[in-house]
Amino acid sequence: MLYNPPRAQLRISRGFLVREPLRHIRAQGERIKMEKVRAGILGTGNIGTDLLMKILRSDVISCGIFAGQNPDSKGIARARELGVPVTCDSIRYIEKYPDCCEIVFDATSAKVHAEHAPILKRLGKYAIDLTPAHVGPFCVPQVNLDQAMDLPNVNCVTCGGQATVPIARALTQVADVKYLEVVATISSKSAGAGTRNNIDEFTQTTKDALIELGGCRDAKAIIILNPAEPPITMRNTVYALIDDPDMDLIRRAIHRVETELKRYVPGYRVVLGPILENGRVTTTIEVTGSGDFLPAYAGNLDIITCAAVEIAESYARRRLL
């Protein structure tokens, strides 16, 4: 499928008919219309398709190409039904038609993104990596969104990282955290091939982000795939060893994180704590999915696509100013 350039406004200027981009055109009594920034999606599985559904309702991003490798992919079929440009040539399509997108979401795998990253850099794309590859710096929007805007490649950590790094950061800002441990529990049904093939990368990348962005001196991340029926909703429990914690200060810090995260992850909520027991502060977070494409229990996938779209929309708004 060939790339079609965006439509433009036609107007008369000094006797000539000229094309004016739909960036800032004010009609009588109407609000300003804005040209959207085009994004490409690499990976047509659950995460890629959920991303697509979120992008389709964005005010500032459109989908320029939905790229995979499997022509029988359910995601490809869904995108075709929605009239979205699709290809089975994966990143090769973007190499051939680089103007199809400015932003690229990579929802493939850690190994594959390591191969894609130098290509996207050469093409000058703003890459948002939803795998645990950690090629580019970490970005958790609630923590460091502004710093990510000028980087060529940003990494969304992991689902557990998006849920717990803000909690870790809040704790280390108001207390001396000696050690922090995260236990992420998700439904087996919400763990696709990409998740299962990247378990080692998940634990290491989440740990690295807890230290780098969360400010922890020492940390550990554990993931549990629960086969229970009906499927459980994603839960993350954060255990922090703190001497003489000021619990009122900690509660206020955790509440602020919850409020700020809900702005772009509506299903994020603290369901336990923070509570103190024998020098250990415990906080449990539950994430319910938005139901754009995935079931509500798949909050682990929803939180990382919500974060990726938040990053992309912030980048797009800056480009459209």
Cβ atoms of residues 281 and 273 within 8 Å: yes
For residue 291, give both structure tokens: 């139901």
For residue 119, give both structure tokens: 């290509």
Q: Which helix H or strand E contains 253, and what residues bound it?
A: helix 247-262
Range 259-293 burial, b when 16+ CB lie within 10 A, else e: ebbeebbebbebeebbeeeeeebebbbbbbbbebb
Q: ∠ CA(278), CA(279), CA(284), 5° rounding?
A: 90
For residue 140, give both structure tokens: 């958790």
Q: Which of 63, 156, 159, 216 is catalytic?
A: 159
For residue 110, give both structure tokens: 């850690």
Q: How far apart are CA 138 and CA 206, in angstroms?
A: 10
100 is catalytic: no
Q: ∠ CA(98), CA(103), CA(139), 5° rounding?
A: 145
Q: CB-based contacts of 269: which residues, under 8 Å, 6+ apart?
A: 258, 262, 285, 286, 287, 288
List residues bridging with 9 in a β-sheet: 20
DSSP label at 15? T
Cβ atoms of residues 221 and 210 within 8 Å: yes
Q: Which region holds residue 5: left if phi is over 0, alpha if psi is between -120 and 50, else beta?
A: beta
Count of CB atoms within 10 A of residue 95's CB?
Answer: 13
Q: Which residues are catalytic?
A: 159
